Amino acid sequence: MNLNELWKRYQITMLVVIGLVWGTLAGLIFKEKAMVLRPLGVMFIYLLFTVIVPVVMITITSAVASLANLRKLGKLFGVMMLVFMLTGAVAGIYMLLVTKAFPIVPPGLKLESSAELHQVNLADALVNTFVVNEFYLMLSYKHMLPLIIFSILLGIAIAMAGDEAKPIVDLLQRLNKVALNLIRLVMYFAPIGIGAYFAYVIGKLGSQFVEVYARIFIVAFVFQPIYWVIMYTIIPYLAAGVEGVRRWWRNIWPQALTALGTSSSVATLPVGLEVARRIGIPEYIRNIVLPIGATIHMDGAAMGTIMRITGGFALMGMSIHGVDNYIKAIALAILAGVAISGVPGGGHVANALIISLYGFPLDVLPLFIAIATIGDAMATMVNSTGDTGAAMLIARILEGPKWYEKAEAAGE
């Protein structure tokens, strides 16, 4: 493989790595002074957010509209939700075991907070998660799930129109190619944008890793990667045997590194779609599973929720035990994965939800914020790459053991 071929195949990875390396060094060397680079990082992330709204709408609508067999679409959604729930449950159970063996809160530690928190109405939270009351609100990255639902319905409506809507389907497929080119253009700014944002994060948090923060750091950056390596060696193996494992570890790094650098599942989605294409996941599966997974499939968020719950109990001088409490915690972890949008800081929604449902005092809030902040990058990596792993397993169920050969033969 010559240099041109190497660059063509791994240019996204190289661009992201360049940004992470210089950003990390800048944050470690200049510490708080590196925070002045934040505007450059924010500009890049906002650019990704701007691109992702039309990309999601086009890719999902195109994928759904192109399915002549609507029963096939229904089967895809059924399998997808089953896989999402199972992986979320496994992630929650894993973190329960980890926090039992390695508590993030030392005995006797008390945290004080003067913050005020409004009670969360669960019914209202669910309504606001799935729908908006004005069409224009869907054109914002803050309302990704309503946009996805609308795109699915629009795609179904186009598919139901049959041959009369074929020109629309053809147009959507052409727009899909344009959208992917737009993604590639934006990623050329990755060395500057990701580097600047990473320098800001390192500079801001570098001096705060003490006591309980150090324990959170260990859980996030030791135990979560262990889960990631094991779980996402098993899932690709189940999807396509040794070939699936090879394709996964050969191609997943651009998505993993972008997720680490941006701490945003939505911002990582453009890279994830390209990674899924390289792995060989069929187009109709990757264009539906990954955008939906970016908002409702968050194994990292499920683990973070368990960390909050067990940490909250520990601060109250109690431990979480009993089958009922375990089931409740895991169910809440999966629910939190749905409620948390794929953007930085979305974990604060989970903070409010957990405090409200468990009746924790506000003293636990600083701990929850620390978990959300310190663990955000690694959780996002698990969240984002987990969507690609889930898509591989879904492809195996729907398309058989040689799903990647079918996709490649079709030129996808």
User: What is the per-residue pLDDT across 281-315, written as a single tens digit (0 to 9) for each?
Assistant: 998 899 889 988 887 788 998 999 999 999 888 87
Percent with pLDDT over 70 in the chain: 82
Q: What is the pLDDT of residues 181-238, one digit of tens each?
A: 887 788 788 888 888 887 887 787 665 445 677 888 899 999 999 999 999 999 999 9
Burial of 368 (0-12, 13-18, 19+ CB in 10 A): buried
Most confident residue range from 161-165, 302-306, 331-335, 346-350: 302-306
User: In terms of Cα–Cα distance, which of 370, 238, 224 is closest to 299?
Assistant: 224
Q: Is the dihedral of CA 131, 137, 139, 144 positive or negative?
A: negative
State how far the Cα of 322 lies from the Cα of 36, in Å rounded to an integer: 48
User: If pLDDT is split at 50, 70 and 90, which confidence band does 50 have?
Assistant: confident
State how far the Cα of 174 lies from the Cα of 157, in Å rounded to an integer: 19
Instruction: Count Cα atoms within 13 angstroms, Cβ side, for 228.
Output: 26
State how far the Cα of 174 lies from the Cα of 179, in Å rounded to an integer: 9
State how far the Cα of 313 lies from the Cα of 363, in Å rounded to an integer: 11
What's the CATH architecture for 11-409? Orthogonal Bundle (1.10)
3-state SS class at 405? helix
Please measure the distance between the N-terminal and C-terminal CA atoms of the chain and give it in whole angstroms.
23
Neighbour count for residue 32 (Cβ, 10 Å): 12
pTM for the full model? 0.69
What are the residue ranges spanned by the domains of the chain?
11-409
User: In terms of Cα–Cα distance, which of 358, 367, 360 is closest to 333?
Assistant: 358
Q: Which residue has the higher pLDDT, 357 or 289?
A: 289
State how far the Cα of 55 lies from the Cα of 180, in Å rounded to an integer: 8
Q: What is the pLDDT of residues 100-159, one digit of tens each?
A: 999 888 776 654 544 444 444 556 656 766 788 888 888 876 677 788 788 889 988 998
